Amino acid sequence: MVTEKKALAAVRVLLEYIGEDPDREGLVETPRRVLKAWSEFWGKGYKADIDKIIKVFEDGSENYNGMVLVRDIPIYSHCEHHIAPIIGKAHIAYVPNKKIIGLSKLARVADIFARRLQVQERLTVQIAETLMSKLEPLGVAVVIEAEHLCMSSRGVEKQGSLTTTSKLLGCFLDEPETRQEFMSLIRS
């Protein structure tokens, strides 16, 4: 088991490895700040219970057969290959089938999976499949557009390039007009 003491020591070793002095004034508290950032923010998705986040309502969707879309949801993650930030936005839609979810829960579901070491492809699928499973809607669509700092700040160093991933399920996959409506709405 990794203890807090071991984790603090690991951050100190990393600082030494890159040529820093972990005992200088500006870095003395850095190991503790790094652990706090990972446990309370960047890695908090590992501790989250999706079933406690998602509350489904069986009332409120009477006679509603249209799309529900929340777009431009900020996404902050870290790539599992370099632990470099991934920064972007998600567009999440579903077509209810007698059940609805609080709109903020769409963002919370995205955040739970984003706050883990990730690849964008997996993140996109996890969000879509979780919503499909928990809501049992007619369909779910997720599009994520993000910049990967592992690509823009190192390696090929192509700042501003975006990666786009999508996962379409149910009516978004089977019905071209529903898919087109979703794509038009996220572009507007």
Task: Please give the share of the chain, as a percent, with pLDDT higher than 70.
Answer: 100
Same domain membership, residue 102 and residue 80: yes
* Global confidence as pTM: 0.94
Write the pLDDT tens digit of every residue in 55-74: 898 877 777 889 999 999 99
Write the pLDDT tens digit of every residue in 2-13: 999 999 999 999
Same domain membership, residue 152 and residue 122: yes
Q: What is the per-residue pLDDT for 155? A: 80
Residue 97 structure tokens: 């089938």
Residue 47 within a domain: no
What residue type is assigned to position 166 of the chain? Answer: S
User: Which among 143, 36, 43 has a CA at the least distance from the CA of 85?
Assistant: 43
Q: Give CA–CA dist 74/70, Å, rounded.
A: 11
Write the pLDDT tens digit of every residue in 143-170: 999 999 988 888 887 788 899 999 999 9
Q: What is the per-residue pLDDT for 160? A: 84
Virtual torsion, Cα 185, 94, 180, 163, nearest 10 deg = 70
| Count of domains forming the chain | 2
Q: Give CA–CA dist 67/77, Å, rounded.
A: 27
Residue 100 within a domain: yes
- Over residues 83-95, mean pLDDT: 97
Name the pLDDT band for 88 (thresholds 50, 70, 90).
very high
Same domain membership, residue 78 and residue 29: no
Q: What is the per-residue pLDDT for 74? A: 98
Residue 109 within a domain: yes
Same domain membership, residue 157 and residue 76: yes
- Over residues 99-128, mean pLDDT: 97
Q: What is the per-residue pLDDT for 158? A: 79
Same domain membership, residue 75 and residue 31: no
Write the pLDDT tens digit of every residue in 116-141: 999 999 999 999 999 999 999 999 99
Same domain membership, residue 74 and residue 26: no
Q: What is the mean pLDDT of the chain?
A: 95
> In this structure, are residues 12 and 31 in contact, taking their beta carbons and an 8 Å threshold?
yes
Same domain membership, residue 139 and residue 75: yes
Q: Give CA–CA dist 122/77, Å, rounded.
A: 12
Is the per-residue pLDDT at 105 higher than 90?
yes
The residue segments making up the domain with residue 169 are: 52-187
Residues with active-site annotation: 79-82, 120, 148, 150
Is the per-residue pLDDT at 47 higher than 90?
yes
Between the alpha carbon of residue 30 and those of residues 8, 14, 21, 103, 153, the distances in Å are: 9, 11, 11, 37, 22
Q: Which residues contact 160 (CB under 8 A, 6 or more apart)?
A: 147, 152
